[in-house]
Amino acid sequence: MSINGNGNAELYSQPARRDTEGTETTPLLSNPSRVRGASFASSVFNVMNAIMGSGILGLSYAMASTGIVGFSILLTLVSSLAAYSIHLLLKLCDLTGINSYEDLGGQALQKPGKVLVGITILIQNIGAMSSYLVILKSELPAAITSFLSPDHKGGAWYEDGTLLLMLVTVCVVLPLAILPKIGFLGYTSSLAFFFMLYFAIVVVVKKWSIPCPLPQNVTMFMETYRQVSNSSGTECTPKLFIVSSRSAYAIPTMAFSFLCHTAVLPIYCELDRPTKARMQNVANVSISLSFLLYVISALFGYLTFYAYVDSELLLSYDAYIPRDIMVMTVRLAILIAVLLTVPLIHFPARKAVILLLRGNRPFSWLTHIGTTVVILGVVLLLAIYVPDIRNVFGVVGSTTSSCLLFVFPGFFYLKISSQPLPSFDSVGAVCLVVFGLIMGVVSFSIIIFTWVQSS
């Protein structure tokens, strides 16, 4: 067993084998000197935390753009493809003895493949972390202010989004990101999961306390949402299928909401008794629970506001019940969950940088800490000084996310595996590549078209 640049146990480059009882094992598992890894529950929470972020806030809008049945079909398709692409990655890990996404790229395309995957992971994760910190910068002061008296005059230091962002990055994100193993984040990931669960519960509860149609005296709410709504007088009737220009945003939104592949292999490496079947169970449980929370929150958010739902669901509640205590607390809970997700996203970004710069050299605390500080510094500067960070990384995300979620797993399997093309997994890999390319091109084109149209 060797130690990679992040202090994690690496697999030898040899295929999986079976023990005397016929149980599938890996070189990592069979090494008697390996310390006990992360538990099954901790790994599930980590994968769920990698899956679930601020994307949960936009799925009600996706349902309002596609209809209840249309949304359910698309979400089932994307989540199933996400689970299947993880299956291909884990199968390649056991086939080659490699447990790094970057090294799988190297196995498929030599050094250019390794560099391509590393850069893709770095761009994707820096974009995701920057967008999360932008959310914190804009929403955290408002969340704190909502708990203060309505007579509060403002101007306090805790209402400065930039200052708050710097404080939470140094005091919370940096200590968690500097941990040498991703398994340590299982505790914070479990906390983030329960915050997401609380969000789903609040959305269900508020469905029964907000009337439909919305009161006519809520003029600010009506004026805000009628500008973006195509309501035709049946605003309290749920739609099963909707096809419009907004529907094209649904699949990219769902795909981004299930992207966890850069964290799956590091989590697999640190899993206790790490067989492919055990890690696949971790992924399946995580995706299933995330799917359930996504559907519940999206459905009841849509059934509360129908065509008037905002692209960020909490803004709809702010317009109607701005100082409701449950909405105030769930807003703060979501911000904390987003904050706790940043260190988990940071882990594969740092791993990619160290692998590209140092290869598989022994672990170095100096390199580990230096890389952590530099990446967080870049992300913090982007969040502070780039005003259109979501638009900038919208283009990056539409390309890198589709590559990491669909294109790379399918393409690498076709290059590395010796399975004939008519086999089930080979056909599935081809479908992943085709779907990922179509989704990436379509979402990229839509973003560019939106920019041109708005200008």
Q: Which domains does the chain have, with CATH numbers?
A: 2-17+37-454 (1.20.1740)
Distance CA(239)–CA(232), nearest Å, equals 12
Distance CA(328)–CA(259), nearest Å, equals 28
User: Which has more confidence, 175 or 221?
Assistant: 175
Confidence bin at 395 (pLDDT 50/70/90): low
Confidence bin at 439 (pLDDT 50/70/90): confident
Q: What is the pLDDT of residues 355-388, one digit of tens each?
A: 888 877 888 889 999 999 999 999 999 888 876 5
Q: How does strand 24-25 pair with strand 17-18?
A: antiparallel
Q: What percent of the chain has pLDDT over 70?
A: 81
Q: Are 143 and 329 in contact (CB under 8 A)?
A: no
User: Which has more confidence, 402 or 5?
Assistant: 402
- pLDDT score for 432: 92
- pLDDT score for 36: 63
Distance CA(117)–CA(40), nearest Å, equals 27
pLDDT beyond 60 at 246: yes
Distance CA(133)–CA(382), nearest Å, equals 9
- pLDDT score for 169: 92
- pLDDT score for 215: 65
Q: Are 268 and 260 in contact (CB under 8 A)?
A: no
Q: For residue 24, what is the enclosing H or E element?
A: strand 24-25
Alpha helices in 403-423 (DSSP H): 408-416
The residue assigned the tokens 């010796």 is: 418
3-class DSSP assignment, residue 218: coil
Most confident stretch, 51-55, 71-75, 157-161: 71-75
- pLDDT score for 392: 58
Q: Are 196 and 337 in contact (CB under 8 A)?
A: yes
Q: For residue 18, what is the enclosing H or E element?
A: strand 17-18
- pLDDT score for 228: 43
The residue assigned the tokens 């094992």 is: 25
Most confident stretch, 66-80, 219-233, 262-276: 66-80
- pLDDT score for 102: 87
pLDDT beyond 90 at 413: yes
Distance CA(273)–CA(279), nearest Å, equals 9
- pLDDT score for 273: 83
Confidence bin at 12 (pLDDT 50/70/90): very low
Distance CA(399)–CA(389), nearest Å, equals 16
pLDDT beyond 60 at 222: no
Q: What percent of the chain has pLDDT over 90?
A: 21
pLDDT beyond 50 at 21: no
pLDDT beyond 60 at 19: no
- pLDDT score for 80: 92
Average pLDDT, the chain: 79
Distances (CA, A) of 451 to 274, 387, 445: 46, 15, 10
Q: What is the pLDDT of residues 38-70, one digit of tens each?
A: 788 888 888 888 887 767 887 888 888 888 999
The residue assigned the tokens 């893709």 is: 120
Q: What is the pLDDT of residues 282-336, one digit of tens each?
A: 999 999 999 999 999 999 999 988 877 877 787 778 777 777 888 888 888 888 8
Q: Quick one: which of 42, 40, 57 has its CA closest to 338?
A: 57
pLDDT beyond 50 at 30: no
